[in-house]
Every structure is written in structure tokens, then in C-alpha cells.
Amino acid sequence: MSDTSVYTRKLPRHVAIIMDGNGRWARKRGLPRFAGHKAGMDSVRAVVKVCLSQGIECLTLFAFSSENWRRPVEEVGLLMNLFMAALDMEVRKLHKHGVRLRIIGERSAFAPELQQRIAAAEQLTVDNTALTLIIAANYGGRWDITQATRQLSAEVARGDLQADAITQELIESRLSLSGMPEPDFFIRTGGEQRISNFLLWQLAYTELYFTDLLWPEFDDAAFAEALKSFATRQRRFGRTGEQVEKMLDA
Ligand code: IPE
Ligand code: IPE
Ligand code: MG
């Protein structure tokens, strides 16, 4: 690691967020859980806006996990409808602001119509460079590593790849976030302190931030507060603090 900027960066390049607490937010108000998911859309808009104004390159949002299919069928249906409606209503605006949209996760489980809209949104925004917005939908970290393993195994079986040529970089190149900078800042709202099968490989050296705020409460001020915490951290990547300081002085 010769690029010392990874130690000094005051602003993350890639923020990954577990947007949790929508259901509890609604319950506190005597509303159905779905009202919380809807209210959470305002927080999505707020963080996207901050990323654009600050010049953060990449934002990954966990919208639906591979385990969320276990929820009541009505809630799953409403979440799918919300996803579809958001694609319809927001994509044009995102495109206008130069946002590139990418969806990661096992999309074959979605209705064909939703799959089509996802592909169309990605296609429309493919050349945009202001911000890459990645939505993790039917995503699981274990699924991601499994699908990468499957790809590489097929190449070995075909004789296109030697098993001992498999390196960390090669595995990374087959994971869902390939080509993106590594997430350097992770945020989870809703008070839970766990990863819930989000980006398992990619979070290896990410700075973690947990807040009790429920996702619909997470606004631009809350995001600014989180970014302030990131700016104070000394990233060491296995080195000692003294080594890092010396490298930065040099
Ligand atoms: C996160 O909020 C959104 C999704 C998982 C889709 P929750 O729905 O998990 O909200 P809580 O955790 O029940 O409050
Ligand atoms: C994680 O939230 C997934 C998303 C935010 C999409 P959950 O609410 O599903 O996580 P657990 O089950 O409480 O760990
Ligand atoms: Mg939850």
C-alpha cells in the first residue's frame, strides 16, 4: 500500500449503509410498518444529496437482504412495489444529477417487470460520473462470495484458469462491487450492532459507525455528524500509529 492518501482521507470515497429501523419508526407512531419504509425514502434522498454536494464517489444502500424474504408476504410485496415505484419516480431525477445507478444482488428472484426496469435504469445512467449509487436488493454477503466462487470454479473446470492463479484480487474482480473503490465507511442506523450478511468480504477494513437513530430520522445533519466521526479516525491497516504518523510526515 504505497498510496498514503488512504490513511489521511477526511472524506470517505465509498459509504455503505444498512438502513434499519423503518418498522420501529412506524410502530412508535401507531402506523403500519410500510409507512416507515415510505418515510425512509426521504432519508435516501437526503444522503444522496449530501454525497453529491460533498463529492463522495460511491454510495451503497442495503434495501433488501436475501433473508428479508422471511418477512410476512404482504410486507415483501409492499417493499417490491415501493422499489418499483422508486425506480419509476426517481431515476430521471438521478440521471439529471449525473448519478449512475447499479443494483447488486440476485435479481433473478424478482418479477420480470422489475428486472426489466432495473436493467433500463442501469442502462440509462451507465455513463454518469457524479456519484455511483448502488442499491443492494436481494443481496447477501455469503451469496456474493458464493457466486464469485462459482464463476471461478467454472473457469477452472473449463481449463481457462489454474487453481493456483486464484488471488484475492481475482476473487474481488468477480464480486458484486468489482471496479468500485472499497467501502471505507459503513453506517448502520436503528441501534443494532451487526452486519446482517451485508458486504462481508468488502468490509474487512472499513470504518464502522452505529447510530440509534431510526432510518427515517437519519437526515443530512445526522449524516454530517457521521462523516465528522470518519474524519477523526486514524486508519492503520495493520501498522502502528507511530508508523502511520511517520509516513504522513515524510
Ligand atoms: C429496514 O427497516 C428496512 C428493511 C429491512 C427492508 P426494518 O423494516 O428492518 O425496521 P425494523 O428493524 O423492523 O425497525
Ligand atoms: C438488514 O436489516 C437488511 C436491510 C436493512 C435491508 P434487517 O432488519 O433485516 O436486519 P436483522 O434481521 O435485524 O439483522
Ligand atoms: Mg430491521
Give domain limits for the chain: 9-140+182-249
CA-wise closest residue to 115 among 132, 99, 103, 127: 103
Ligand nearest to the CA of 135: 2
Q: Position of cell 464502522?
A: 208
Residue 84: exposed, middle, or buried by beta-carbon count in 10 A (0-12, 13-18, 19+)? middle
Pocket test for ligand 1, best of 19, 20, 211 (most atoms within 8 A of CB): 20
Output the residue whose Cα is nearest ligand 1's atom 6.
64
Show the cell assigned to 191: 441501534
As a whole number of angstroms, the distance between CA 35 and CA 149 comes to 39
CB 107 within 8 A of CB 118: yes
Show the cell assigned to 58: 460511491
- Pocket lined around ligand 1, Cβ cut-off 6 Å: 19-24, 64, 68, 79, 190
Output the residue whose Cα is nearest ligand 1's atom 3.
20
CA-wise closest residue to 147 among 107, 119, 203, 112: 107
CA of 6 to the centre of ligand 3 (A): 32
pTM value is: 0.96
CA-wise closest residue to 146 among 103, 205, 112, 105: 105
Output the residue whose Cα is nearest ligand 1's atom 12.
21
Ligand 2 atom at minimal distance to the Cα of residue 63: 6
CA of 230 to the centre of ligand 3 (A): 24
For the domain bounded by 9-140+182-249, which CATH number is listed? 3.40.1180.10
pLDDT confidence of residue 2 = 54
- Pocket lined around ligand 2, Cβ cut-off 6 Å: 18-20, 62-65, 68, 192, 194, 196
- Please list the pLDDT of the chain residue by residue as tens digits (250 residues): 557 888 878 999 999 999 999 999 999 999 999 999 999 999 999 999 999 999 999 999 999 999 999 999 999 999 999 999 999 899 999 999 999 999 999 999 999 999 999 999 999 999 999 999 999 999 999 999 999 999 999 999 999 999 999 999 999 999 999 999 999 999 999 999 999 999 999 999 999 999 999 999 999 999 999 999 999 999 999 999 999 999 989 8
Ligand 1 atom at minimal distance to the Cα of residue 25: 14
Active site positions, annotated: 20, 68
CA of 31 to the centre of ligand 3 (A): 16
CA of 201 to the centre of ligand 3 (A): 22
CA of 54 to the centre of ligand 1 (A): 28
